[in-house]
Amino acid sequence: MESSDETFGTSALSMEVLRQRLERVLSVRFQPHDSSYFGGDYYRCEAAPEEEMILFRNDVPDEEGEVVQPQNAQYSVLFEVMSTSRGDELRAALSAIPELTLIRQERY
């Protein structure tokens, strides 16, 4: 079965608002975490076996002045789904959040 890693971004929604919308449309529950790598608070969810979802701010610079994903610096909040075999299903559900843009998809 084909799997994919997918990254979505938004600058129109705060991390908290996006978390609430993601929980509603995906029927998942994110757990709060803290990491200096992600610039402090972020959310994580293991929605299915082998699948991981991470929601984090991409507008908090580290000690060197870099954000987590400088190549996606135009988005203040990023949502990543790793190792999903439900890519089509997730993208269809996420279409209910028009402020969210698919910015990367890697299939393997």
Q: What's the pLDDT tens digit per position in 10-53?
A: 999 999 999 999 999 999 999 999 998 888 999 999 988 889 99
* Residue 1 pLDDT: 76
Helix, strand or coil for residue 26?
Answer: helix
User: From the centroid of its chain, how far is CA 28?
Assistant: 13
- Compare 61 and 44 and report the one with higher pLDDT: 44
List the chain domain ranges.
Answer: 4-107
Q: Which tens digit of pLDDT belongs to each residue from 74-99?
A: 999 999 999 999 999 999 999 999 99
Q: How many CB atoms lie within 10 A of CB 50?
A: 10
Q: How far apart are CA 20 and CA 9, in angstroms?
A: 15
The identity of residue 28, as a single letter, is: V
What fold characterizes domain 4-107? Answer: Double Stranded RNA Binding Domain (3.30.160)
Helix, strand or coil for residue 107?
Answer: strand
